[in-house]
Amino acid sequence: MKTRFFFFLLLLVISLPFKAQGNHLNEEILRSRQEFRDAKFGIFLHWGLYSMLATGEWTMTNNNLNYKEYAKLAGGFYPSKFDAARWVSAIKASGARYICFTSRHHEGFSMFHTRYSDYNIVDATPFKRDVLKELADECHKQGIRLHLYYSHIDWYREDAPWGRTGRGTGRPNPEGNWDSYYQFMNNQLTELLTNYGEIGAIWFDGWWDQDQNPDFDWHLPEQYALIHRLQPACLVGNNHHQTPFEGEDIQIFERDLPGENKAGLSGQDISELPLETCETMNGMWGYKIADQNYKSPKTLIHYLVKAAGKDANLLLNIGPQPDGELPAVALERLEQIGKWMHVYGETIYGTRGGCIAPHSWGVSTQKEGKVYVHILDLQDKSLFLPLEGGVKVKRALDFVTRRPLKIQKCKGGILLQLEEVPTDIDKVVELEIN
Minimum distance, C-beta of residue 44 to ligand GLC, in the bound complex (Å)? 7
Q: Which parts of 221-260 interact with ligand GLC (CB under 6 A)? A: 239, 254
Work out whether 278 is an interface residue with ligand GLC (CB under 6 A).
yes
Which are the contacts of 346, defined by CB distance < 8 A and separation ≥ 6?
none
Question: Of the two residues 57 and 311, which places its CB atom closer to ligand GLC in the complex?
Answer: 57
Which are the contacts of 429, defined by CB distance < 8 A and separation ≥ 6?
372, 373, 375, 396, 397, 398, 399, 405, 416, 418
Cβ 138 vs Cβ 147: under 8 Å: no
Work out whether 365 is an interface residue with ligand GLC (CB under 6 A).
no
Work out whether 210 is an interface residue with ligand GLC (CB under 6 A).
no
Work out whether 205 is an interface residue with ligand GLC (CB under 6 A).
yes
Distances (CA, A) of 225 to 172, 182, 189: 32, 14, 11
Q: 238: part of which helix (H) or strand (E)?
A: strand 235-238
Minimum distance, C-beta of residue 58 to ligand GLC, in the bound complex (Å)? 6
Q: Which residues pair with 251 in a beta bridge?
A: 275
Q: How many other C-beta atoms are found inside a 10 Å radius of the C-beta of residue 31?
A: 11
Q: What's the rounded Cα separation, in Å, for the pair 227 and 207?
A: 17
Q: How many other C-beta atoms are found inside a 10 Å radius of the C-beta of residue 68?
A: 11
Say which amino acid occupies 254.
Answer: E
Question: Of the two residues 67 and 344, which places its CB atom closer to ligand GLC in the complex?
Answer: 67
Minimum distance, C-beta of residue 205 to ligand GLC, in the bound complex (Å)? 5
Cβ 236 vs Cβ 205: under 8 Å: no
Per-residue string for binding with ligand GLC, 108-127, x by CB under 6 A? --------------------
Minimum distance, C-beta of residue 297 to ligand GLC, in the bound complex (Å)? 22
Cβ 103 vs Cβ 111: under 8 Å: yes
Question: Of the two residues 148 and 391, which places its CB atom closer to ligand GLC in the complex?
Answer: 148
Question: Of the two residues 322 and 362, which places its CB atom closer to ligand GLC in the complex?
Answer: 322
Work out whether 101 is an interface residue with ligand GLC (CB under 6 A).
no
Work out whether 191 is an interface residue with ligand GLC (CB under 6 A).
no
Question: Of the two residues 138 and 205, which places its CB atom closer to ligand GLC in the complex?
Answer: 205
Q: Report how many helices (DSSP H) and strands (DSSP E) the chain contains, helices first.
A: 11, 16
Work out whether 57 is an interface residue with ligand GLC (CB under 6 A).
yes
Question: Of the two residues 71 and 278, which places its CB atom closer to ligand GLC in the complex?
Answer: 278
Number of residues that bind ligand GLC (CB under 6 A): 8
Question: Of the two residues 29 and 202, which places its CB atom closer to ligand GLC in the complex?
Answer: 202
Question: Of the two residues 58 and 224, which places its CB atom closer to ligand GLC in the complex?
Answer: 58
Question: Of the two residues 46 and 306, which places its CB atom closer to ligand GLC in the complex?
Answer: 46
Question: Of the two residues 146 and 396, which places its CB atom closer to ligand GLC in the complex?
Answer: 146
Q: Which parts of 32-51 interact with ligand GLC (CB under 6 A)? A: 46
Work out whether 130 is an interface residue with ligand GLC (CB under 6 A).
no
Distances (CA, A) of 259 to 36, 55, 99, 310, 386: 20, 30, 25, 9, 20
Work out whether 285 is an interface residue with ligand GLC (CB under 6 A).
yes
Distances (CA, A) of 261 to 61, 267, 268, 360, 364: 25, 6, 9, 17, 21
Work out whether 314 is an interface residue with ligand GLC (CB under 6 A).
no
Can you spell out the DSSP letters for 370-433? EEEEEE-S-SSSEEEEE--TT--EEEEEETTT--B-EEEEETTEEEEE-SS---SSSEEEEEEE
Work out whether 209 is an interface residue with ligand GLC (CB under 6 A).
no
Minimum distance, C-beta of residue 45 to ligand GLC, in the bound complex (Å)? 11
Q: Contact residues for ligand GLC (CB under 6 A)?
A: 46, 57-58, 205, 239, 254, 278, 285
